[in-house]
Chains A and B, each alone.
Chain A
Amino acid sequence: MRFTLRVWRQKDAKSPGQFETYEVDGVPADASFLEMLDILNEKLIKEGKEPVAFDHDCREGICGSCGLFINGRAHGPLPNITTCRLYMRHFKDGDTITIEPFRARPFPVIKDLVVDRSALDRIIQKGGYISVNTGSAPDANSIPIAKAAADRAFDYATCIGCGACVAACKNASAMLFTSAKVAHLALLPQGQPERRERVKRMVAQMDAEGFGHCSNTGACAVECPAKIPLSAIARLQRDFIWANLTPDPYAR
């Protein structure tokens, strides 16, 4: 297959970027989108040109590294998929494909299509965990957890932290990401002691990073490779309202 690629090239965070156009030929239909970029890069290197920088690692849809905005959509034209699991057979021979980095103020471009997503880690730092030190846990079966609760918690816990939710959102909101963690932990008995503070602190950090607000368009859930449902956001909303409106039972 043959494609014309319009690729965003940007030297570093400070330099302005622009689109460059490349032709790539002889791409097998069963190649993944990233493998197609590999083919392009091999060609560029041979020509003595700088290859296109893009994030990637596991190439099986779980590490959350890859993140390209392809033809106007996070991770390309298919819903709920990462770029590494997007195959060229989903494009038409001769297509022109526009590739941009994920764009958001908290995701500064590092180079070309690579962006810094450490803002997401800083949100987790504010409470995306249960504070338990190694060695202090009781027997694993000492607290039964309803299967349904564990299953729902799992649905939210599968977030891969790729940032597609932010990229797809018209407001560059990180609500789906943040709420997935809040919802996961709020569903489990182990998550209860810190539940009130967790949601407040994580929301505060989300705002401090400069992510936008959520306007419930649902674009995030359409693009989310981990299929985190929008109910995560509802759960965060509910917890946040509860944590702020009801009196803290243990306040002095």
Chain B
Amino acid sequence: MKLTELMDKSLVDIDLNGSSKNEVLDEMIEKLDQSGALKSKRKFRKTIEKREKEGSTGIGFKVAIPHGKSKAVTSPKVAFGLSRTGVDWNSVDGEPARLVFMIAVPEESAGNEHLKILQMLSIKLMDEQFRTELLQVQTVDEAYELLDQIG
């Protein structure tokens, strides 16, 4: 199984409009909702906010991974957004986030296939070369091709 089974091209945005963390979160939640992954946008937003309060998901290296495990999620999905300018995410290293992966996981689900995929994504994000390539993509197809390598 591959990461791209949890996302399609409609969940890839190579030019996020939002200029703040909140705007970017809204933008990406909207995408997940349109893909049919959410039962309730409002509830999922709350889950995401709660996780951000426990500690920023800006892990540094220009990467943020807002994520929520919630009953408001019907099926596991990942959205990817690239911010050209970068937004402040309270990251540990102080750098603005440019690569944003939003992860939606249902509260209960049989099997852990999707968790394995998120594990692979996490590992891949520690790879500096991969991050650099992802920062330089010009089209959705290019981004999708890179993400397709995961899994």
| A and B interact physically | no
Question: A residues near B, CB below 8 A?
Answer: none
